[in-house]
Every structure is written in structure tokens, then in C-alpha cells.
């Protein structure tokens, strides 16, 4: 099903992945183990088409070459990513988060059936379909993230350290859920530092050290391999995991990692995966309620504060940059969030905010540079749009969906 051959990635002059070769079969869980900075996330990003580095080599899914395709096309081909940090929309409900995952052509026609499938697989999501995600536990939010990825009707689910930050009990539940996903025939490519639990459910595994795959084998064999035990399963390696759930580092230390802007979910991962399934030319009409006003770009120091203006359309170059980085225009996401609000609330009415609690007006990010800061802004924009969508309610109090 998924065949990776000779896959190399470099960020500028710095190689992050060298000549990786791996395979994931249908209905198989394959885990990639490795120390911090070994190149695990880079591998997943390259498979999903959201890698910021230079990608060379081949990634095929059922014979279709994915390298070079934009992220939303890769989703269409059947690859779904659950990014590190989950990337759920905290102010939307479970069902709204799930539905947002079904916006690839591949998934749209079967949205209802997929929703049922996800809710049957994870009954808790069905019970909580009307619950706002921010009020859920970390494990439940992770379940929403996996459910949303499954709404794109994937052949392959890729997950970047899904157990990060979860309690041991929730980790157990998470890995059980992944076993359930496997039973549906979906292949799973899992990056984990929780070697013990991931090897317990995996069929096969690869060890990634210093940008190279140095070993592969059946999960059962890896679990009993003394070298793997020493390096990853607490059998003598030096524990380095600063985060609960991480185990131990390999014997061969990773090279000094280049400093990264921040640890945790990269905004590009979150935004790209959330938006990847949204087609650029949306057939659905944009909602009549205008998005929140944007400030004018810059006002002279002596001038009075600028009055909010209608959102400027991004310049063509900026839009295409956003498309290139994210796979779909950010504005589509805003429209979709408003659309969702209207569907669930009947009438779309921008909420009047009390004078005493003014909210800062979001600024439209300059998308031309594609830097992490810009992507942070995009993420903030999306989350703000989701918050506004939440507030667009009819006058009478909304009854929570059940
Ligand atoms: N966008 C980027 N720009 C420059 N260097 C990067 C970028 N992303 C990753 N790197 C570098 O590439 C190397 C591999 O990073 P990657 O995130 O793939 O490692 P990892 O194995 O997933 O580690 P971790 O478990 O810490 O996430 C590291 O040295 C990292 O600093």
C-alpha cells in the first residue's frame, strides 16, 4: 500500500532524513521509533506533503506517486495525518470537528456513512457529539483528532506522537483505539516515543537514528531485541524524555538538533491538516454574515485609531502562497466555520459583544513569507473564526445537541 523508497529531506543544507525505505500494508500498524531530532516528524510530513524542507525520493500509495503533490491532493489519495498536538478546533463541537475532516472529494459523498463509522468505532464520540471539544479531556480530544482524520476516508492514517502528554491510562485507551482502527483495514504509520505501548500494538517497526533507518523488524522481535530494549524500553539506556510518556534515548545519540522555533505542534501541521481537505473552489456559497472586520494595515502615529474595515482580499501572490503551504485558502475555513454555525443555530447573527469586554480584532496575516510566525497568525485567525462562529447564535439559548 504505502511504499517509501530513497526518501531524503533537507532543511537548507541540513539533512533531516536520508534515504528512508519503508512500507505499510493495508490493516497494518507500523511504528517508527527514534530519539528527539532523528527525523520522525520530517518523515511523516514528507509523506503528507507538508514538509517545509526539500524532499527527494519516492512515496507511493497504491502505486500513485505522492511526492510533489499538494497536501489536499494527498488527502484525496487517501493519506490522513493526525499532527503532533492534535490540531482540533477547541471551540467547535465534536461533530463539527469531525465534519470538517470530510471535505475532500474522496470523503464528501460518504460523509454520513463515515460519521456513523467513526461514531460506531468510538461510541464516546457519538455520546458527546454536541460537546464543545475544549471541555474534553486530552485523551478524548485525541480521539476527536483521530476521528476527524478518519472522516477523510483514508487508506493510511499517520500519527505524530499521539500519546504525548496523555496519562498512562489514556495512553492505553489511545492504543486500543488504534487497534480498532486497524481492524477496519486502514494502515497506520505511527511515530512514537512511547516504545513499550506502541510496540505492543504494532505489527512492525523501524528504528530511525540520526536521520537514517537503521533497523526494521516485526514488533514482537523488536520488543525482545536486547539492543532495542536497552535503547528504547528502559533496559539500560539513558532516559531523556522530558515529557511524560517518553521512554529512553537510543545508544547512539542524535546529532545536535538545529534549534527549532518551539516544541509542540507546528502551526503548519495543524493548519495544513485541517485545511487540506477543503477544495480551493468551494461549491458551497459563502455565508452572508461577513467575517469579522480587519484593521487597516497601518495608521500614522498621530491619526485616530483606525476604524475596522471589511476584510481585504489577499493579494494573488499571497493567496497562492497560502495555497502552496496549506493546501487551501484560509478564508475557506472561515466560511466553513460560519456555515457550520448557521447550520446548527438556524440564523446567523454576529454576536454583539458587551462594551466592557472588547475582543481584539484579528489581523489578517501576511502569508507571503510562509514563516512559522506567519503560520501562527493563520492558526490564530482560524481559531478566532471558530470562536466567532460559536458566538453566532439565535437570540434564544441554544440547546446542546445530544
Ligand atoms: N522546519 C524546519 N526547519 C529547519 N530544521 C528543521 C525543521 N523541522 C525540523 N528540523 C530539524 O530537522 C531535524 C529532524 O527534526 P524532526 O522534527 O523530524 O525530528 P523528530 O525525530 O520528529 O524529533 P522530535 O521527537 O523531537 O519531534 C532536527 O534536527 C530539527 O531541528
Give the position, in ligand 1's atom list, of the atom nearest the Cα of 211.
14
In whole angstroms, give the CA distance from residue 20 to residue 98.
33
Give the position, in ligand 1's atom list, of the atom nearest the Cα of 38.
21
Question: ipTM, 2 decimals?
Answer: 0.97
Burial of 290 (C-beta count, 10 Å sphere; 0-12/13-18/19+): exposed
Ligand 1: does its nearest atom lie under 6 Å from the Cβ of 314?
Answer: no
pLDDT in tens, 117-176: 888 888 889 899 999 998 998 888 988 999 999 898 899 999 999 888 778 888 888 899
In whole angstroms, give the CA distance from residue 189 to residue 156.
7
Distance from the alpha carbon of residue 34 to the mean position of ligand 1, in angstroms: 12
- The answer on pLDDT for 338 being more than 60 is no
- Label the pairing between strands 187-192 and 156-160: parallel
In whole angstroms, give the CA distance from residue 206 to residue 37.
15
- The answer on pLDDT for 348 being more than 90 is no
Q: CA torsion sign, 362 to 147 to 55 to 10?
A: positive
Instruction: Tell me what pLDDT residue 202 has.
Output: 96
Beta carbons of 294 and 364 less than 8 angstroms apart = yes
Ligand 1: does its nearest atom lie under 6 Å from the Cβ of 258?
Answer: yes
- The answer on pLDDT for 101 being more than 80 is yes
C-alpha 68: how far from its chain's center?
Answer: 19
Ligand 1: does its nearest atom lie under 6 Å from the Cβ of 16?
Answer: yes
DSSP-assigned letters across all residues of 298-312: ---TTSPPPPPBPPP
pLDDT in tens, 227-256: 888 887 765 443 333 223 333 334 344 333
- The answer on pLDDT for 204 being more than 90 is yes
In whole angstroms, give the CA distance from residue 158 to residue 276.
14
DSSP state of 352: P
Ligand 1: does its nearest atom lie under 6 Å from the Cβ of 182?
Answer: no
pTM of the model: 0.65
Ramachandran angles phi, psi of 296, nearest 5° = -70, 155
Beta carbons of 312 and 362 less than 8 angstroms apart = no
Top pLDDT among 208 and 285 is at 208
**Structural domains of the chain ordered from first start:** 2-232 (3.40.50.300), 313-402 (no CATH)
Confidence band (pLDDT; 50, 70, 90) for 296? very low
Q: CA torsion sign, 245 to 247 to 252 to 256?
A: positive
pLDDT in tens, 2-61: 999 999 999 999 999 999 999 999 999 999 999 889 999 999 999 999 999 999 999 999
> Which region, left, alpha or beta, applies to residue 83 given φ > 0 means left and ψ of -120 to 50 means alpha?
beta
For the chain, the 3-state helix, strand and coil shares in percent, each to the nearest 5, are 40, 20, 45
Give the position, in ligand 1's atom list, of the atom nearest the Cα of 372.
1
Mean pLDDT of 69-96: 88
Specify the residue with its C-alpha closest to ligand 1, atom 12: 16
SS3 270: helix
Amino acid at each position: 500500500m504505502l511504499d517509501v523508497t530513497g526518501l531524503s529531506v533537507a532543511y537548507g543544507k541540513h539533512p533531516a532524513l536520508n534515504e528512508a525505505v519503508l512500507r505499510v500494508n493495508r490493516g497494518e500498524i507500523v511504528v517508527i521509533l527514534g530519539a528527539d531530532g532523528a527525523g520522525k516528524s520530517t518523515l511523516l510530513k514528507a509523506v503528507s506533503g507538508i514538509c517545509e524542507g526539500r524532499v527527494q525520493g519516492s512515496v507511493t500509495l497504491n502505486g500513485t506517486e505522492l511526492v510533489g503533490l499538494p497536501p489536499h491532493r494527498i488527502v484525496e489519495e487517501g493519506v490522513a495525518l493526525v499532527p503532533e498536538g492534535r490540531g482540533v478546533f477547541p471551540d467547535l463541537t465534536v461533530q463539527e470537528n469531525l465534519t470538517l475532516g470530510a471535505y475532500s472529494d474522496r470523503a464528501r459523498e460518504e460523509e454520513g456513512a463515515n460519521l456513523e463509522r467513526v461514531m460506531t468505532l468510538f461510541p464516546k464520540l457519538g455520546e458527546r457529539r454536541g460537546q464543545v471539544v475544549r471541555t474534553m479531556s486530552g485523551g478524548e480530544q485525541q480521539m476527536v483528532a483521530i476521528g476527524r482524520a478518519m472522516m477523510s476516508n483514508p487508506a493510511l492514517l499517520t500519527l505524530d506522537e499521539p500519546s504525548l502528554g496523555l496519562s498512562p491510562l489514556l495512553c492505553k485507551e489511545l492504543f486500543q483505539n488504534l487497534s480498532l482502527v486497524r481492524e477496519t483495514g486502514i494502515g497506520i504509520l505511527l511515530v512514537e516515543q512511547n516504545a513499550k505501548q506502541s510496540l505492543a500494538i504494532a505489527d512492525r517497526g523501524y528504528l530511525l537514528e540520526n536521520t537514517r533507518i537503521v533497523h526494521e523488524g516485526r514488533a514482537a522481535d523488536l520488543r525482545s531485541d536486547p539492543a532495542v530494549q536497552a535503547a528504547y524500553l528502559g533496559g539500560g539506556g539513558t532516559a531523556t524524555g522530558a515529557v511524560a510518556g517518553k521512554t529512553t534515548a537510543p545508544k547512539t545519540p542524535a546529532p545536535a538538533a538545529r534549534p527549532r522555533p518551539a516544541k509542540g505542534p507546528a502551526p503548519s501541521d495543524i493548519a495544513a491538516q485541517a485545511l487540506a481537505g477543503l477544495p480551493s473552489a468551494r461549491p458551497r456559497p459563502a455565508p452572508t454574515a461577513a467575517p469579522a472586520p480587519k484593521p487597516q494595515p497601518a495608521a500614522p502615529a498621530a491619526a485616530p485609531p483606525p476604524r475596522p474595515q471589511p476584510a481585504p482580499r489577499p493579494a494573488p501572490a499571497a493567496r497562492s502562497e497560502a495555497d502552496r503551504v496549506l493546501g487551501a485558502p484560509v478564508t475557506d475555513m472561515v466560511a466553513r466555520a460560519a456555515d457550520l454555525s448557521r447550520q446548527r443555530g438556524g440564523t446567523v447573527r454576529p454576536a454583539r459583544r458587551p462594551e466592557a469586554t472588547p475582543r481584539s480584532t484579528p489581523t489578517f496575516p501576511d502569508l507571503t513569507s510562509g514563516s512559522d510566525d506567519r503560520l501562527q497568525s493563520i492558526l490564530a485567525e482560524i481559531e478566532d473564526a471558530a470562536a466567532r462562529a460559536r458566538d453566532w447564535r439565535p437570540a434564544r439559548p441554544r440547546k446542546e445537541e445530544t
